Amino acid sequence: MAFGLGLLNGLKYTATRVFKTYVGDFKHLGRRYDDKLFKERQSVKGSGIFTVQYPEEKLPVPENFRVVPFLVYEPALDENGKPLIDPATGKEMIGKQKCTACGICSKVCPPQCIWIVRALTPEGKPKPQPAEFYIDIDICMNCGSCAEFCPFDSIKMDHVYELANYERHVSHIYDIGVLSKPASYHAKIHPTDWAAEEAERAAKEAKKK
């Protein structure tokens, strides 16, 4: 092979890729971040440069992707059985926390980053619900053991990964307000897990009848 031909071949390959990227951009003008198109460009059919233009572009995460845990709550319902929405936050209002404050998650957590305070009745007796619930998200190693061992399906692993902040001592100690997310959110990000839980619940109900 003539001297330098390999180098030229390499440059030709790179230049073709760059050119195809611009062709693709013009071809899909205004639709670059369209979900369907993005998937196509990231698939084997895609051409051009494959770099994900984060944060404008984000790759979809798999269902079992794990970052930090969240607590699942059942929403408060209106007279038609629809979830009540808090106008201040736009979130579904809390009807009932699924968590019973049993403490299993905090016992099995390898780095011990879960802290739970159980609620009390006016007579001072323990109630099966948490008054406070904290997770230090910088110590959490995203193992998912808490979600795995929870007997009430009330703690699940979230997909949100953009957690950077300017300090950690306040904003990275997630309290019950930050950790709580509605069951509809769990159903949305974990459809397979949710369907299995619903099937199990329906089977238990049917057994009781």
Q: Does 176 bind ligand SF4 (CB under 6 A)?
A: no
Which one among 154, 156, 189, 190 touches ligand SF4, defined by CB under 6 A? 154
Which one among 105, 176, 179, 183 touches ligand SF4, defined by CB under 6 A? 105
Q: How far is the CB of 109 from ligand SF4 (least distance, A)?
A: 3
Q: Does 65 bind ligand SF4 (CB under 6 A)?
A: no
Rounded-to-integer distance, Cα 143 and Cα 110, Å: 9
DSSP labels, 142-189:
---HHHHH-TTS-EEE--------S-STTTTEE-HHHHEEEHHHHHHH
Q: Does 141 bind ligand SF4 (CB under 6 A)?
A: yes
Q: Does 152 bind ligand SF4 (CB under 6 A)?
A: yes
Cα–Cα–Cα angle for 139, 143, 146, rounded to 5 degrees: 90
Cα dihedral 24→30→35→41 (10° resolution):
10
Which one among 38, 155, 158, 185 touches ligand SF4, defined by CB under 6 A? 155
> In a 3-state reduction of DSSP, which class is residue 41?
helix
Q: Does 144 bind ligand SF4 (CB under 6 A)?
A: yes
Unique residue bearing structure tokens 């159903």: 187
Q: Does 126 bind ligand SF4 (CB under 6 A)?
A: no
Contact set with ligand SF4 (CB under 6 A): 69, 99-105, 109-111, 113-114, 116, 135, 140-146, 150, 152, 154-155
